[in-house]
Amino acid sequence: MHNRLLALGVTLTGLTFLAPQIYAQSSTSGRFTVTIEGAPDGPAVLFLPGLASSRSVFDTEASLLAANYRLYRIQINGFAGQPAGLNAAGPILDPLVTDLHQYIVATHLHPAVIGHSLGGLLGLMLAASHPDDVQKLMIVDAFPFWGYAFNPEATAESIRPTGKQMQDEMLKASYAEFKFGAGKSSESLVTDPANRKLVTEMALTSDRAVFAEALYDDITTDVRPRLARLTTPTELLYPYDATLQGPNSAAVDKLYVTAYAGMPLIKMHRIDGSRHFIMYDQPVAFDAAVQAFLK
């Protein structure tokens, strides 16, 4: 039972609750909302948080960028206490990419996009489907196909039963079981106990059906066949924590390099001493990477 519950929360995400100055908030598509803040005439930066996360996961970084950049911070409906809206039924990721594209076109943006986890996959999907939408892309610890992390020989089709099982287990788990799984998962995602608690709370306040469907979509989406055609300059940040992953950092490097093999315009930057939430575990290194990326 414990192993099954741990699997439920393997990509749970969390946030810190700060209060940014918000210039505008709009409900755009029924699938996400956007807050707009920062320098009115600055270059546009669009943030995409991950599975079960609020936009607030990027609060600290937003406070460091606001003087010079116009920030568009997405929150997916159904995550972290936000009503499910149109995400209440059916696939989530593909419709989200369509609606993000429509929002970018309608608002005449050509932003740099920074996406964490599921948000990184969304950014990759957006750049692959609508290359004119994304000026450049930063992916924060995400794979183009999450099934690869389970099994290097997996395909989108072969991983579907695993994804369906995880979705079903999440939906049928009792609150106590789900809370236990979320809490245990957070230990592998972030080092600080206070932030681990926030990670857990984000999962617990997300709409369970939206969470489970997004998890399934995440596991079964494979962008690898499209990587060779991507023309968007891309940077990948990925973590390494010896206490969690063991002393062989080269094996971790190989995992990410192989996952993105064939992508022509990608640079990779490992952040040591960090788990999945690089912005929490190594905020100084994360900011330095973001600032360099945006220049």
| Interatomic CA distance for residues 139 and 193, integer angstroms | 25
Question: What fold characterizes domain 2-294?
Answer: Rossmann fold (3.40.50)
Q: What crossing angle do the helices spanning 208-220 and 160-172 adopt, rounded to 10°? A: 170
Q: In the chain, which stretches have pLDDT less than 50?
A: 1-23
Q: Directed axis angle between helix 118-129 and helix 93-106, to 10°?
A: 60
* pLDDT attached to residue 199: 87
Alpha helices, DSSP H, located in the chain:
2-8, 59-65, 93-106, 118-129, 147-150, 160-172, 175-189, 193-204, 208-220, 242-245, 249-259, 278-281, 283-294
pTM, whole model, 2 decimals? 0.91
pLDDT at position 29: 77
Residue 262 has a pLDDT of: 87
Question: What's the rounded Cα separation, in Å, for the pair 8 and 168?
Answer: 10
**Residue 79: per-residue pLDDT:** 97
Amino acid 18: pLDDT: 32
User: Within 10 A of 108 (CB to CB), how many other CB atoms are there?
Assistant: 7
The pLDDT score that the predictor gives to residue 17 is: 29
Residue 103: predicted pLDDT = 96
* CB within 8 Å of 254: residues ≥ 6 apart: none
The residue whose two tokens read 């596991």 is: 219
Domain edges within the chain: 2-294
Residues 6+ apart with CB under 8 A from 280: 14, 16, 190, 191, 192, 195
Distance CA 241, CA 189 (A): 10
Predicted local confidence at residue 128, as pLDDT: 97
